[in-house]
Amino acid sequence: MAHTDHQTMRRVLRREIAGTIGLLTDEHDFRAMRRYRSFTFDDHQTYLRQVEAVLRARAAQGTHTTLALFDPEDYAAYCTQAGLDPEAPASRSRFTAELAATGPTIPYDGRPLATLVPALVDEAVRQATWEYAATLLSRLGPCPTCGEDIGKAAFTRASELLIRILDTAPPGDRHLVCSVSGPPDTLVAVLHGDQDADDGIRLDEAEVLEFTSVLALGLATRSPGGLVLRASAPDTADRVYGWRLRCGGLEPLTAAEVFDAYCTDVESGDLISPESGVDYCQPPDLGAESGTPDHRH
């Protein structure tokens, strides 16, 4: 009887243990892991099917599992730094545990892996974009005129601008895209805001942080770029408008400029048909910014 009780308690405890699976999402990373003899899979699609079977089994047992993006190059560097044998499965488990604490993860919620993989990749891109933008902001240092931290001041200003953009937007769900051009790469951040029953806007904190950081970087470095908002509500045409980033500020685009941007093929330059049920318009007035206009670092 005592033995049975112990088995029951262990089953209960196993359900309390959360787990993380480090996922090799693409064929290139999968082939890179095959150089380790202890990694016994030889076909990526078979590997993905087996992972999905494990996820379904754990969910059926009431066990929570998160998915993390497993990068073979990061794994090799981790093993070298920690003095671990990369051939040992225990090393992969330790690396995956590290990913669970510091890397991008998403919870397994029963959706097919084919749906979850793009979501995991998007989460990884979002975190990498935020980390890169935050690093560049931190390197800007103090203002030579007033001594204020340029990156922090730009982030505060970007936060205030984002609040005003959301507050002046038409009712409905909002979809914002901010792009900042500059060496070596163009950074793009996306922010979704869903309107709730009380007319409030639900925002993802990670998306807000990434979006604000990218906008702040564009403002602080006076880099060219743009910000576009699309508002969608039932029984009404979507409204699309935006601003260009110029000289460290937001300059409203005219309705014609927004139309041209959306109705021109980026690669060929050819005109494309406008979307039905969409109004391309001029953005609302955001009002005067706080602070001294001629001293924005």
User: Looking at the predicted structure, is the pLDDT value of residue 3 above 60?
Assistant: no
Closest CA to 180 of 130, 215, 131, 229: 215
Q: Give the bridge partners for 166, in sequence order.
A: none
- CA–CA distance, 179 with 214 (Å, rounded to integer): 8
Bond prior to 171 in cis (omega within 30° of 0) = no
pLDDT in tens, 101-149: 888 899 999 999 999 999 999 988 888 999 999 999 999 999 888 888 9
Which are the contacts of 67, defined by CB distance < 8 A and separation ≥ 6?
20, 21, 23, 105, 106, 107, 108, 116, 120
In a 3-state reduction of DSSP, which class is residue 229?
A: strand
- CA–CA distance, 273 with 263 (Å, rounded to integer): 6
DSSP output for 32-80? HHTTSTT-----HHHHHHHHHHHHHHHHHTT--EEEEE--HHHHHHHHH
Beta pairing, strands 225-232 & 238-246: antiparallel
Residue that wins the pLDDT comparison between 2 and 205: 205
pLDDT in tens, 10-53: 555 555 556 899 999 999 999 999 999 999 999 999 999 999 99
